[in-house]
């Protein structure tokens, strides 16, 4: 498929993921869920004030979920054709089995050269694109990550869906087609709890190599944002979502925000970052350095 402004969709040719679903070995930990808050329409008018009001309840968790009133339904600019189909971003390869343990048990006796060769093969899971040189990939590893493929959001969604379908439904297949996946779709459909249990099995007791891709640290000033931006909104229409205090592009400008004293547009501090994930991709919860 092609139009005058976009490149054709890349083809996806799935190969073995090395990992397999082990539902009988689920390792879902017993942890408390993050608290959920549902502000009223009136409370929702003041983002900083509401966050301050729930702070005493949230501090011991470090994270919470705030569910907006049902009337608040901002559009997602990322779904516009110019971004969804035409704008590419670079991904990183995440070795899920090494998030907690440096080496899965099965691989401890394997020579390092052999492990590295196998990892190179998996680096291109599902993509029929050009490879980066081994020297370049080695350089990335020194900084803690391997560089993956370039995707549009549309391509990444297809890639993520096919990975999930193969991992949970077509175990042991070396190569399958999208048609075959659709024909056997009823075979995979695991629950959220089953997926979470499999994730923790891979992290805590790894005996397979499992790699996924994710997009990280995408500067919304360059790539676009999940929220409309006020300076792009038609001033005559007074877009309430482009001006909303809950719009992450505006949150730092609120009078009681400590970031309102920062005059420079610092990426990742003042300008939000965008992250794009798939099944098993992870981002550790940390205390910001700023």
Please state, as a whole number, how many other Cβ atoms lie within 10 Å of the Cβ of residue 46: 16
Q: What is the pLDDT of residue 220?
A: 84
Instruction: Tell me the CB-side half-sphere exposure of residue 179, using CA atoms within 13 A.
Output: 0
Q: What is the pLDDT of residue 102?
A: 64
In a domain, 111, yes or no: yes
In a domain, 5, yes or no: no
In a domain, 60, yes or no: no
pLDDT < 70 positions in the chain: 1-19, 102-144, 170-188, 231-238, 286-290
In a domain, 119, yes or no: yes
In a domain, 183, yes or no: yes
Domain assignment of residue 153, given as a range: 23-31+75-276
In a domain, 42, yes or no: no
Residue 250 near residue 256, CB atoms below 8 Å: no
Count of positions (residues) in the chain: 290
Q: What is the pLDDT of residue 173?
A: 45
Residue 276 near residue 89, CB atoms below 8 Å: yes
In a domain, 18, yes or no: no
Query: Structure tokens of 284?
Result: 């550790």
Q: What is the pLDDT of residue 125?
A: 46
Per-residue three-class SS string for 188-249: CCCCHHHHHHHHHHHHHCCCCCCEEEEEEEEEHHHHCCCCCCHHHCCCCCCCHHHHCCCCCC
Dist. CA 123–CA 30, nearest whole Å: 33
Split into its structural domains, the chain has a count of 1
Q: What is the pLDDT of residue 42?
A: 97
Residue 182: DSSP 8-state: H
In a domain, 1, yes or no: no
């Amino acid at each position: 498929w092609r139009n005058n402004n976009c490149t054709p969709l890349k083809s996806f040719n799935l190969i073995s993921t090395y990992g397999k679903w082990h539902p009988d070995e689920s390792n879902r930990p017993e942890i408390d869920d993050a608290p959920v808050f549902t502000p009223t329409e009136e409370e929702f008018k003041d983002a900083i004030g509401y966050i301050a009001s729930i702070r005493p309840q949230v501090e011991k968790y470090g994270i919470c979920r705030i569910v907006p009133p049902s009337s608040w339904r901002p559009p997602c600019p990322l779904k516009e054709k110019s971004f969804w189909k035409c704008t590419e971003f670079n991904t990183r390869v995440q070795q899920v089995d090494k998030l907690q343990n440096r080496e899965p048990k099965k691989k401890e006796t394997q020579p390092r050269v052999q492990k590295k060769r196998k990892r190179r093969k998996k680096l291109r899971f599902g993509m029929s694109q050009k490879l980066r040189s081994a020297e370049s990939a080695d350089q990335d590893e020194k900084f803690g990550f391997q560089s993956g493929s370039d995707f549009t959001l549309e391509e990444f969604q297809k890639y993520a869906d096919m990975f999930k379908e193969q991992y949970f439904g077509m175990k042991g297949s070396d190569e399958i087609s999208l048609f075959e996946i659709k024909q056997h779709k009823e075979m995979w459909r695991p629950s959220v709890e089953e997926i979470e249990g499999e994730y923790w099995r891979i992290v805590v007791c790894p005996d397979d190599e499992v790699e996924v891709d994710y997009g990280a640290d995408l500067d919304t000033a360059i790539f676009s944002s999940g929220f409309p931006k006020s300076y792009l909104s038609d001033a005559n229409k007074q877009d309430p979502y482009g001006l909303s205090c809950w719009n992450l592009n505006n949150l730092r400008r609120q009078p009681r925000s400590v970031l309102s004293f920062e005059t420079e547009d610092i990426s990742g501090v003042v300008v939000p970052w965008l992250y794009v994930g798939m099944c098993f991709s992870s981002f550790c919860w940390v205390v910001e350095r700023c």
